[in-house]
């Protein structure tokens, strides 16, 4: 018998007045899984976490933790009585308590020497054993985030919820804190839901990824599937600009202005168009192509080109920045 999912949502909906924040969402997360919830601002990510935590009671649907219903139309288990840890974007540490006292706060029998040993152990796990007596304002953003994680782990929760945990850290700190956090969660084997609005972060952190849009879950899958087999145009567009090319359909292939393409990323609403990511195309210097570069967007390690084709289509092409082409050179677009 397969174990019940650690977190299960069944047709969960929630609204604030007329605003539908979460719309018929179903989701299973297993123990040991890191599930990334990806969506733009206002798509309902935080509301969904608050519903799992029990801080908000959904209007409709069923929430179960470890196979037991914790909230439905008939009843609602309060947040304190759920085995759930929660880390917020702004850490929410108590400013007048030391790092150790903040972690102790998460332990029920916090006055005992066992509690102190455990809290020190948790700070050691996040690499802060020499900062136990530090006040939050003397810690860097990354250190504060790690104290918040240690505090959330203190009750040995089965479920961990992280709401944009790295978004207020600068890029240099972020990678290190992310590494520490994911290692601790994997070692603890908890079921984690991590919210992010950063597509690259969702793909690199999640064992699975779900895309929320306007309160609806539009796709759930492995990072590879989410990126390479989007459920439709909206899911595809979550990862930035995308090209939509029309053409002549021939079985499972489509003939476009730039060649024949296999239909693996078809827009279900438009059977004879194909969606191609900018990096699936390549620009080559060519007098025959009849294409010209309209705009250049430097992205750091890559460069995005907007190209006007001879057929008057506009295509986005992404190249390594080391392969840069001059703006006024004649080019052709090919499939990579
Ligand atoms: P996200 O975390 O993805 O940015 P939220 O879950 O915070 O999205 O919000 C989803 C929608 O619900 C938004 O339209 C937001 O304005 C609305 N909303 C969230 N919390 C409240 C609240 N306490 N009262 C009224 N509206 C809310
Ligand atoms: Mg939010």
- pLDDT at position 265 over 70: no
How confident is the model over 252-278, as a mean pLDDT? 78
Question: What is the band of 117 on the pLDDT scale with cuts at 50, 70, 90?
Answer: very high
Question: Is residue 257 one of the residues assigned to a domain?
Answer: yes
Do residues 129 and 262 share a domain? no
Do residues 246 and 228 share a domain? no
Do residues 46 and 154 share a domain? yes
- Ligand 1 atom closest to residue 215's alpha carbon, by position in its atom list: 10
CATH number of the domain where residue 17 is located: 3.40.50.300
For 91-115, the pLDDT digits (tens) are 789 999 999 999 999 888 889 999 9
Collapse the DSSP code of 121 into the 3-class scheme (helix H, G, I; strand E, B; otherwise coil) and give the result: helix
The domain total for the chain is 2
Question: What is the band of 268 on the pLDDT scale with cuts at 50, 70, 90?
Answer: low
CA 181 to chain centre: 15
- pLDDT at position 2 over 80: no
- In DSSP terms, 283 is beta-bridged to 333
**Span from the CA of 317 to the centroid of ligand 1 (angstroms):** 35
The pLDDT of residue 11 is 98
The pLDDT of residue 213 is 96
Do residues 222 and 121 share a domain? yes
Q: Is the CB of 21 under 6 A from ligand 1?
A: yes
Cα(110)–Cα(87) distance, rounded to whole angstroms?
Answer: 20
Q: Is the CB of 19 under 6 A from ligand 1?
A: yes
Do residues 145 and 288 share a domain? no
For 192-231, the pLDDT digits (tens) are 999 999 999 999 999 999 999 999 999 999 999 999 888 8
Token readout for 67 is 């196979």
Question: Is residue 2 one of the residues assigned to a domain?
Answer: no
The pLDDT of residue 195 is 97
Do residues 303 and 207 share a domain? no
Q: Specify the DSSP class assigned to residue 130.
A: G
Question: Is residue 71 one of the residues assigned to a domain?
Answer: yes
Domain extent at residue 276: 241-335
Question: What is the band of 4 on the pLDDT scale with cuts at 50, 70, 90?
Answer: confident
Do residues 125 and 249 share a domain? no
Do residues 47 and 105 share a domain? yes
b/e for 57-77, b at 16 or more Cβ within 10 A? ebeebbbbbbeeebbbeeeee
Atom 22 of ligand 1 has which residue's CA nearest to it? 16
- pLDDT at position 266 over 70: no
Question: Could you give the dihedral angle defined by the CA atoms of residues 41, 43, 44 and 49, in that order, rounded to the nearest 10 degrees?
Answer: -60
pTM, two decimal places? 0.89
Q: Name the helix (H) or strand (E) containing 253.
A: strand 253-256
The pLDDT of residue 23 is 98
For 160-173, the pLDDT digits (tens) are 999 999 988 888 88
Domain boundary among 233, 259, 285: 233
CA geometry: angle 186, 187, 192, nearest 5 deg: 35
Kindly give the pairing relationship between strand 159-163 and strand 84-87.
parallel
Do residues 325 and 228 share a domain? no
Cα(285)–Cα(331) distance, rounded to whole angstroms?
Answer: 4
Do residues 76 and 183 share a domain? yes
**Span from the CA of 22 to the centroid of ligand 1 (angstroms):** 9
How confident is the model over 25-40, as a mean pLDDT? 97
Cβ neighbour number for residue 315 with a 10 Å cutoff: 22
Question: What is the band of 267 on the pLDDT scale with cuts at 50, 70, 90?
Answer: low
| Residues having C-beta closer than 5 Å to ion ligand 2 | 46
- pLDDT at position 133 over 80: yes
Q: Is the CB of 18 under 6 A from ligand 1?
A: no
- Ligand 1 atom closest to residue 17's alpha carbon, by position in its atom list: 25
Q: Which residues contact 184 (CB under 8 A, 6 or more apart)?
A: 125, 126, 149, 153
Q: Is the CB of 196 under 6 A from ligand 1?
A: no
**Span from the CA of 47 to the centroid of ligand 1 (angstroms):** 6
The pLDDT of residue 329 is 84
Cα(48)–Cα(307) distance, rounded to whole angstroms?
Answer: 40
Domain boundary among 209, 233, 257: 233
Do residues 253 and 152 share a domain? no
Domain boundary among 202, 217, 233: 233
Dihedral sign from CA coordinates of 111, 80, 52, 7: positive
Mean of per-residue pLDDT scores for the chain: 92
Question: Is residue 318 one of the residues assigned to a domain?
Answer: yes
Do residues 109 and 199 share a domain? yes
Question: Is residue 296 one of the residues assigned to a domain?
Answer: yes
68 versus 109: which is more confidently predicted?
68
CA geometry: angle 36, 224, 295, nearest 5 deg: 95
CATH number of the domain where residue 258 is located: 2.40.50.140
Which ligand has an atom closest to residue 211 CA?
A: 1
- pLDDT at position 255 over 90: no
Q: Which of 42, 89, 162 to mutate to test the pocket of ligand 1 (most atoms within 8 A of CB)?
A: 42
């Amino acid at each position: 018998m397969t174990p019940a999912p650690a977190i299960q949502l069944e047709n969960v909906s929630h609204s604030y007045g007329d605003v539908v924040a979460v719309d018929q969402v179903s989701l299973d997360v297993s123990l040991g899984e890191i599930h990334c919830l990806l969506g733009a601002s206002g798509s309902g990510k935080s509301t969904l976490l608050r519903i799992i935590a029990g801080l908000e009671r959904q209007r409709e649907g069923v929430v179960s933790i470890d196979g037991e219903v914790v909230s439905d139309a008939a009843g609602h288990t309060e947040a304190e009585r759920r085995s759930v840890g929660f880390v917020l974007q702004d850490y929410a540490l108590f400013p007048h308590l030391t790092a150790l006292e903040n972690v102790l706060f998460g332990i029920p029998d916090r006055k005992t020497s066992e509690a102190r040993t455990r809290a020190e152990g948790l700070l050691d796990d996040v690499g802060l054993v020499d900062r136990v007596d530090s006040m939050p304002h003397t810690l860097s953003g990354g250190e504060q985030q790690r104290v918040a994680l240690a505090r959330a782990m203190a009750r040995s929760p089965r479920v961990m919820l992280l709401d944009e945990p790295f978004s207020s850290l600068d890029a240099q700190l972020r990678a290190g804190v992310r590494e520490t956090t994911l290692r601790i969660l994997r070692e603890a084997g908890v079921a984690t839901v991590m919210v992010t609005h950063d597509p690259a972060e969702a793909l690199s952190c999640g064992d699975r990824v779900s895309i929320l849009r306007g309160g609806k879950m539009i796709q759930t899958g492995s990072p590879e599937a989410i990126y390479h087999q989007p459920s439709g145009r909206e899911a595809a567009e979550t990862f930035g600009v995308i090209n939509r090319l029309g053409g002549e359909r021939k079985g499972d292939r489509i003939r476009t202005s730039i060649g024949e393409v296999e239909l693996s990323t078809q827009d279900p609403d438009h059977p004879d168009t194909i969606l191609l990511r900018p990096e699936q195309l390549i620009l080559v210097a060519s007098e025959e192509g009849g294409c010209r570069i309209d705009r250049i967007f430097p992205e750091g390690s890559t460069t995005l080109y907007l190209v006007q084709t001879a057929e008057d289509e506009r295509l986005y092409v992404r190249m390594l920045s080391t392969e840069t082409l001059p703006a006024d050179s004649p080019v052709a677009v090919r499939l990579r």
